[in-house]
């Protein structure tokens, strides 16, 4: 196919391979690309390394479905409920499979991505000194300040094979406007070998060029652009979708047992062919409640030369 | 209504009192989020709030939020920058106070949110998030925890968020607010500042696996004022964070 426009199925099939290091959930609680997460599960990808700061329940779902062999993250759980039960089962009992965990803080996982984005082997920091996260850590080593200051920690570069990012709007070349929470989106996008962009809407190129400071990801870095409205639900998307609280609590409750998790997975992922079917299952009343209809527009910025 | 309040409302008030006017605050979720709003509405109108997702606010969110990423926390923010930008301010020393919680705490104020080993059986917890960074780099930290024997240990099973230690460059735990009282953790001591109304010294000793400095003249935590309670119930109308079936007073 010419160009970068893809359906989500093709975008995942072409760009996520077994064993890949996949960064997602990078804006923290908002804009989590849940549609892509569920497609990865449907395509039964395996041995993935999941990279992110706090992934809310996205990593828990990927782990419970057996797609992940490793997690490189600062926090894995469910923000609404606390613990991620699938993560716990995998770490504590190897169910459905054992996983390796590379623990980070938000700062250190961010520095690891930033180092890769800058083309550097590592970045130094003072964070974590005196704690256990940085002890015997595969990606953290003590380092001396060549200018004679106090000793630091070096956080080694981390380059994802693919970053998956959900944004408000993009053009068909993948130039992406994102506003609201940024988290580690830009660092992950700039460091990743490939980028899959899912967006609320594809807009004309002129819309992107009207406001270049809002372009957080330039399209020449992007491999696939997927128009997937509602593709982050139940996470929020500023100006498009409110956070849908009930699914986080429902998942938290049901995933506390293996059987409950499997039933949830069947109902909300495996039995549904795509995101359209997910939205249909949510139903019109829920979608009407979640969709942002009010406008609170930014003042225009004059870019006249 | 001011004579009746929940233990969590008292903890929010105690958290708010730890924020001074014009300070830069690394705000957590749950009780500290309400404490920040309360401080802004009362004694610290000039405080600035930073959130680890990159949001910078000089006023509380206009509507109830469950997470720092919720749309009402972005609308009306002064800036939405990147995670590394706010972490960099923290590393520079430009954040006065940060709030933290934990599953376990020890006398040095080390916090564990990574894993516990009750009866030798591994229990995996979610991990650090930004807590380890706030603990390492803020000018001082205020810790908020439920005061239970299984949480107050001589040694935590894992140090997610470092407390006082020899290599510390700045800050460290300053105050601990629990369901029983307010404690002074500066310089690595563990001393009672005040006990909440109705709480005895014996109750604190029974819930703490290590020595607590506690003298006879210990004060009682000042209960929430009518103004403070009015703010909390406006900000958390359903009692989602602060509701509690057991009411004091």
* pLDDT at residue B247, as a whole number: 39
pLDDT digits (tens, 9 = 90+) for A110-136: 999 999 999 999 999 999 999 999 999
3-state class of A215 per DSSP?
A: strand
pLDDT value at position B30? 82
Query: Mind listing the pLDDT tens digit for each residue in B201-247?
Result: 999 999 999 999 988 789 999 999 999 999 999 999 989 889 864 43
Distance CA A47, CA A34 (A): 19
pLDDT of residue B217: 82
Q: Which of residues 29-88 of B touch A (CB under 8 A)?
A: 29, 52-55, 66-71, 74-75, 80-84, 87
What one-character-per-residue DSSP string does A125-137 give? E-TTTTSSTTTT-
CB atoms near residue B197 (< 10 Å): 14
DSSP letter assigned to residue A273: S
Task: Indicate whether B142 pLDDT > 90.
Answer: yes
CB distance A105 to B132 below 8 Å:
yes
Contact A182 B53 (CB under 8 A): yes
| Contact check, Cβ <8 Å, A91/B53 | no
Catalytic residue among B52, B104, B154, B211: B52
List pLDDT tens digits, range B52-84: 999 999 998 888 888 999 999 999 999 999 999
Which residues between 262 and 291 in chain A have a beta carbon less than 8 angstroms from any beta carbon of chain B?
A: none
Question: For B89-119, how does the pLDDT look when each residue is reduced to its tens digit (9 = 90+)?
Answer: 999 999 999 999 999 999 999 999 999 999 9
At B66 the pLDDT is 87
CA A297 to chain centroid, in Å, comes to: 26
- Identify the band that residue B249 occupies on the pLDDT scale cut at 50, 70 and 90: very low
pLDDT at B105: 97
If you average pLDDT over residues A84-106, what whole number do you get? 98
Does the structure show a pLDDT above 60 at A1?
Answer: no
Q: Indicate whether A277 pLDDT > 70.
A: yes
* Subunit contact A183:B83, Cβ cutoff 8 A: yes
CA angle at B174 for the pair B168 and B179, rounded to the nearest 5°: 135
Binned at pLDDT 50, 70 and 90, residue A81 comes out as: confident
- B18 catalytic, yes or no? no
DSSP chain B: -TT-B-HHHHHHHHHHHTPPTT-EEE--SSHHHHHHHHHHHTT-TT-EEE-TTSEEESS--SS--SSTTSHHHHTT-SEE-BHHHHHHHHHHT---EEEE--SEE-TT--EE-SEE-GGG--EE--B-TTHHHHHHHSSEEEEEE---TTTB-SS-SS-SB--S-TT--S--EEEEEESSEEEE-GGG--EEEEEPTT--HHHHHHT-SS--B--TTPEEPPPPPHHHHHHHHHHSTT-TTT--SS-B-
Determine the pLDDT at residue A80. Answer: 83
Residue B248 has pLDDT above 60, yes or no: no
Q: How far apart are CA B188 and CA B190, in angstroms?
A: 7
């Amino acid at each position: 196919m010419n160009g970068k426009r893809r359906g989500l199925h093709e975008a995942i099939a072409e760009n996520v391979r077994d064993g890949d290091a996949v960064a997602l959930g990078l804006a923290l609680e908002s804009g989590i690309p849940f549609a892509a997460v569920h497609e990865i599960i449907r395509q039964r990808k395996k041995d993935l390394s999941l990279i992110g700061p706090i992934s809310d329940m996205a990593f828990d779902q990927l782990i419970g479905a057996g797609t992940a062999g490793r997690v490189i993250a600062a926090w894995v759980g469910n923000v609404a409920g606390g613990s991620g039960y699938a993560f716990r089962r995998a770490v504590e009992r190897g169910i459905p499979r054992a996983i390796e965990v590379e623990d980070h803080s938000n700062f250190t996982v961010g520095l690891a991505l930033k180092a890769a984005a800058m083309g550097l082997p590592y970045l130094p920091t003072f964070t974590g000194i005196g704690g256990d996260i940085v002890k015997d850590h595969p990606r953290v080593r003590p380092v001396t300040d060549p200018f004679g200051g106090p000793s630091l920690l070096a956080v080694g570069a981390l380059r994802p094979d693919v970053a998956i990012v959900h944004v408000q709007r993009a053009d068909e070349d993948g130039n992406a406007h994102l506003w609201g929470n940024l988290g580690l989106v830009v660092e992950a996008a700039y460091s990743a070998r490939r980028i899959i962009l899912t967006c609320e809407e594809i807009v004309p190129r002129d819309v992107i060029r009207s406001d270049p400071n809002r372009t957080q990801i330039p399209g020449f870095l992007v491999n696939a652009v997927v128009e997937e409205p509602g593709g982050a639900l139940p996470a929020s998307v500023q100006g498009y979708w409110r956070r849908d609280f009930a699914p986080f609590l429902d998942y938290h409750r049901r995933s506390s047992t293996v059987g409950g998790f499997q039933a949830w997975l069947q109902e909300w992922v495996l039995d549904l062919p795509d995101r359209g079917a997910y939205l249909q299952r949510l139903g019109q009343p829920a979608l009407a409640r979640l969709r942002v209809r009010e406008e609170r527009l930014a003042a225009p910025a004059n870019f006249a030369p | 209504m001011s004579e009746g309040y929940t233990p969590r409302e008292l903890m929010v008030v105690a958290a708010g009192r730890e924020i001074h006017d014009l300070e830069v605050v690394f705000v957590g979720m749950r009780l500290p989020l309400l404490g920040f709003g309360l401080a802004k509405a009362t004694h610290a109108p000039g405080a600035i709030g930073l959130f680890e997702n990159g949001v910078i606010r000089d006023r509380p969110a206009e509507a109830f939020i469950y997470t720092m990423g919720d749309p009402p926390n972005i609308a009306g923010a002064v800036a939405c920058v990147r995670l590394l930008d706010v972490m960099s301010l923290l590393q520079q020393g430009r954040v006065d106070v940060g709030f933290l919680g934990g599953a376990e705490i020890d006398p040095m104020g080390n916090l564990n949110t990574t894993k516990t080993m009750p009866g030798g059986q591994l229990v995996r917890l979610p991990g650090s998030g930004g807590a380890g960074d706030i603990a390492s780099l803020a000018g001082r930290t205020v810790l908020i925890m439920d005061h239970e024997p299984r949480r107050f240990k001589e040694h935590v099973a894992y140090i997610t968020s470092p407390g006082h230690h020899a290599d510390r460059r700045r800050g460290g735990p300053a105050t601990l607010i629990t369901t029983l009282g307010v404690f002074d953790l500066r310089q690595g001591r563990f001393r009672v500042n005040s006990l909440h109304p109705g709480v005895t010294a014996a109750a604190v000793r029974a819930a703490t696996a290590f020595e607590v400095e506690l003298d006879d003249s210990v004060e009682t935590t000042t209960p929430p004022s009518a103004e403070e309670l009015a703010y909390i119930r406006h900000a958390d109308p359903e009692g989602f964070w602060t509701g509690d079936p057991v009411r004091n007073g």
